[in-house]
Amino acid sequence: MTTMNEPSAFQCAGQRIKYQPRIWAGLLAAALALPCAAQPSDPASPAPAAESSPPLTSSTASVPGSVAARLKSLYPATQFGVVNATAWPGVYEVLMGANIAYVDESGQYFLFGHLYDMKAQRDVTAEHKDTLARIDFESLPLADAIKDVRGDGSRVLAVFSDPDCPYCKRLESDLRSLTNVTLYTFLMPIASLHPTAHDKAVAVWCAKDRVTAWQGTMWQDQTLPRAECPHPIDRNIALGERLGIVGTPTLVAVDGRVLPGAASKEQIEAWLVRSTASAQATASPVAIPQ
């Protein structure tokens, strides 16, 4: 795992996507410019597109199932996920690992990037990515987190944080001004980057007043005396790994949406109130058989 915004520790999005030589080179260069995440990648290249594929007709290519079958035929060595219709006639959304791409009916032309509904002022792609990367908040072991209730506590948020992470401290300075919120902070030190963070996390957990101890550590750079007591720190590290949380800070909303990195107060406020409606079209998604 690594700390957010430390580029040397990251590989860019597109894990497990096998790249088509020549045809895909330019398209995937754009995909690699998407936000980075510490995910494993498969450098192997797929075989070139098959010479023959199902015939394309206007009556069959207009449905996601036909597009899915055609993609599988054209690029048999490439892993595709579900195919969805979009509000843009003739353009289909296709999942490629952690990426969302857009493809025409023929399967020849791809777009990598974000699809916007300008009338509604919505980033359709970002909204759908939110739904794909959700965490079951109810499954989180909240007893292993530091609970901080502010105001009426009506908004609920979990934070995975490292006491020695500079970006976590930057985030805490913005979280400091949030009101009417319940914060659950999971102490998740990353020893490979911050060798003393584990002991600091344990000291915070063992403090009589954990909220005050955490705030003093993050807001005022206070150093607590080393302490020992039963603690969940190692469980939190394992939890983060299971959930795919690969860096700190990482925020999790009560509806399961995930926000990695040191977001500003304004970004967090907007993220908390943003509609969680799916950006998928009304047509049912179609999986490409593997």
pLDDT tens string 71-118:
999 999 888 888 999 999 999 999 887 689 999 999 999 999 999 999
Residues 70 and 25 in one domain: yes
Residue 49's domain comprises: 2-133+280-287
Asked whether residue 274 is assigned to any structural domain, the reply reads no
Question: Which residues lie closer than 8 Å to 33 by C-beta, 6 or more apart?
Answer: 12
User: For the segment 191-245, what is each residue's pLDDT rounded down to a tens digit?
Assistant: 989 999 999 999 999 999 999 999 999 999 999 999 999 999 999 999 999 988 8
Number of domains in the chain: 2
Predicted confidence (pLDDT) at residue 11 exceeds the cutoff of 70: no
Residues 13 and 126 in one domain: yes
Residue among 129, 100, 117 at smallest CA distance from 14:
100
Question: Considering just the CA atoms, what is the radius of gyration of the chain in Å?
Answer: 22
Per-residue three-class SS string for the chain: CEECCCHHHCEECCCCCCCCCCCCHHHHHHHCCCCEECCCCCCCCCCCCCCCCCCCCCCCCCCHHHHHHHHHHHCCCCCCCEEEECCCCCEEEEEECCEEEEEECCCCCEEECCCEECCCCEEHHHHHHHHHCCCCHHHCCHHHCEEEEECCCCEEEEEEECCCCHHHHHHHHHHCCCCCEEEEEEECCCCCCCCCHHHHHHHHHHCCCHHHHHHHHHHHCCCCCCCCCCCCHHHHHHHHHHHCCCEECEEEECCCCEEECCCCHHHHHHHHHCCCCCCCCCCCCEECCC
Report the CATH number that the domain containing residue 218 is assigned in CATH: 3.40.30.10
Asked whether residue 268 is assigned to any structural domain, the reply reads no
pLDDT of residue 132: 73
Distance CA 102, CA 94 (A): 6
Residues 174 and 127 in one domain: no
Residues 106 and 152 in one domain: no
Residues 27 and 125 in one domain: yes
Asked whether residue 272 is assigned to any structural domain, the reply reads no
- Output the six-digit token pair for 109: 């032309």
pLDDT of residue 134: 84
Residues 144 and 195 in one domain: yes
Residues 231 and 141 in one domain: yes
Q: Phi then psi for 169, rounded to 5 degrees?
A: -65, -35
pLDDT of residue 96: 83
Predicted confidence (pLDDT) at residue 29 exceeds the cutoff of 50: no
Asked whether residue 160 is assigned to any structural domain, the reply reads yes
Residues 155 and 213 in one domain: yes
Asked whether residue 166 is assigned to any structural domain, the reply reads yes
Residues 193 and 97 in one domain: no
pTM: 0.58
Residues 121 and 168 in one domain: no
Residues 96 and 199 in one domain: no
Could you tell me which residues are beta bridge partners of residue 273? none
As a whole number, mean pLDDT of residues 135-162 equals 95
Asked whether residue 226 is assigned to any structural domain, the reply reads yes
Residues 159 and 240 in one domain: yes
Distance CA 19, CA 13 (A): 13
286-287/82-85 β-pairing: antiparallel
- Output the six-digit token pair for 123: 């980033």
Asked whether residue 85 is assigned to any structural domain, the reply reads yes
Question: Which residues lie closer than 8 Å to 26 by C-beta, 6 or more apart?
Answer: none
Asked whether residue 32 is assigned to any structural domain, the reply reads yes
